[in-house]
Structure 1
Amino acid sequence: MIQIEDTYYIKKVLAGDTKSFAVLVDRYRDLVFTLALRMLKNREEAEEVAQDTFIKVFKSLSKFKGEAKFSTWIYRITYNSCLDALKKYKQEYQKDTIDEFTERQLATLDNAFEILADKEQSQIIEACLQKLPEEESFLLTLYYFDEQSIAEIAKIVAISEANVKVKLFRSRKKLAALLKEKLEPEIIEQYERERR
C-alpha cells in the first residue's frame, strides 16, 4: 500500500479539514513520544511534552514551508519542547565518567548493536540510553533508531553538521562504555576474534 505524503494531509488541515490532522498524529506519535522519553527520562513528562508538541504543530502548521522534511520539523518542535520542559523541571541527571575509546572499540559497539538486535536484547540498549544525558540520548535515537542523516539532525537541533558529528562521536563513546559494562563479554570477544 502506498503511503500518501504528509503534504497532502497538511493541505487538507490548512483548508479546514481538521480531522486530517489525526493521520499526521498517528504517523508521528510514537516517534515524538520516544524522543521526548529519551530526553526527559520520565514517562508522564514525555507524554505531556508529546501532547504539547502536537498542539504546537497544529497551531503553527501554516508556518511549515516544506523547506525541510515534515518529520524534521516535528522533531525540531519536539526537541525545543523537551528543552523547555527540562528548564521547567530543572532536572539533573547522573553523568558517568567515561574512559577514552578507540575507533576499534566503537566498531565493536556498532557490531554489538546488530548482535543485540538479533538476540532481541534491545532492553539493554534502552537501559544504557536512559543513563546518558538527555541530549546525547536524543541524538543517538535520531541517528540509530530513526535513521536520520547528519544533515537532518543538524536542522533538528540547530547546530552545524560538524558539531553533530562531534556530539555523536562523544555520545557513542559514552554509550560504548555503558554497553561494555552490560554486554556479555563473549559478544565483544567474539567480534574481536573475528577481526584479528
Structure 2
Amino acid sequence: MEESLLIARAQRGDQSGFAQLVEMYQTPVYNLAYRMLSNVNDAEDAAQETFLRAFAQLKTFRVDQKFATWLLSICAHHCIDRLRRRKFFWLSLEDKVLEEALASDAPEPDDVALRAENAHEIAQSLERLAPAYRLVVVLKYWHDQSVEEIARTTGDSVSAVKVKLHRARKMLAREMTTQSKAEGGRMKDEKATLSFIPHPSSFEREVTHAR
C-alpha cells in the first residue's frame, strides 16, 4: 500500500496503518538513534519513543512534508534531549564563526575519501563529535539526506548545516589521522572526509511496533 494512504489511515487513528509505517521505517530510525547514542539499549528505547511520539503527533504532519524527514526529525530531537541529559550540550555556532566559515576560500574536501579498515573505527571517531555535528554527519552519510533535508530535520538554516558538515569533516579527518598514526598507519594529514563510509548494516536492529 502507498505510504500516503498508510499515513491517512494512521491519522484517522488506524493503528494497523501506523504499524505498517513502523515496519517501513524502523531500521532507519533505529540506525539514526544508534549513531547518535552509541548504545543498543538506548537506541532501541529512543526508536520506540520516536514512534510513540510520531503517532501522537500525526495530526501535525502535512502532506507537503516528506514523512521520512518528519520522522527522523522527531528521532533526532529526542536523541539530542537524551544526550543533554548525559551532560552533553548542543553546540551552537556564533554568527561570526558562521560568517567567517561561509566567506572562507578554502576548498571543501568533498573529493577526498575517508579510508578506514572498518565501520567500527569510523563509529569510534563519530562518537567523539559533539551531538550537533554527529547528527548532520549521520543524516548526510547514513541517511543520504540533502543539505536542505538536513536543515528541515534539524531546524537549522541551510547555511548552518553546510558549516557544520564542513567542520565535522575536518574534525573527523583529524581524528582518523590521529588514529591511523597511533596504529602505525599512513593516512595523510587533512586527506580524509566522508565521501566513503560503509553502511553500518551490522548495527541494524528491529524495534517493537508502537502500540
Q: TM-score, normalised by structure 1?
A: 0.76
Cα distance 1:148–1:27, how it changes in 2: closer, same or farther (>3 A)?
A: same
Partner of 2:172: 175
CA contact (8 A) 1:76 1:157 kept: yes
Residue 104 (structure 1) shift: 7.2
**1:91 matches 2:94:** no
Segments of 5+ residues of structure 1 without an aligned counterpart are 94-101
Indicate the RMSD between aligned Cα atoms, in angstroms. 2.8
Give the residue type in structure 2 aligned to 1:91. Answer: K
Aligned residue pairs total 174
Residue 39 (structure 1) shift: 2.5
Residue 67 (structure 1) shift: 2.4
**1:63 matches 2:63:** no
Of 113, 128, 149, the residue aligned with 1:111 is 113
1:1-196 aligned at under 5 Å gives the runs 4-87=1-84, 89-92=85-88, 106-107=109-110, 110-112=112-114, 115-116=115-116, 121-183=118-180, 185-186=185-186, 188=188
CA contact (8 A) 2:177 2:187 kept: no
Q: From the two aligned structures, give the one with the greater helix fraction.
A: 1
Residue 164 (structure 1) shift: 0.5
Q: Among the aligned pairs, what percent are the same residue?
A: 31
CA contact (8 A) 1:39 1:133 kept: no
CA contact (8 A) 1:53 1:78 kept: yes
Q: TM-score, normalised by structure 2?
A: 0.71
Q: Distance in 2 between matches of 1:92 and 1:86?
A: 5
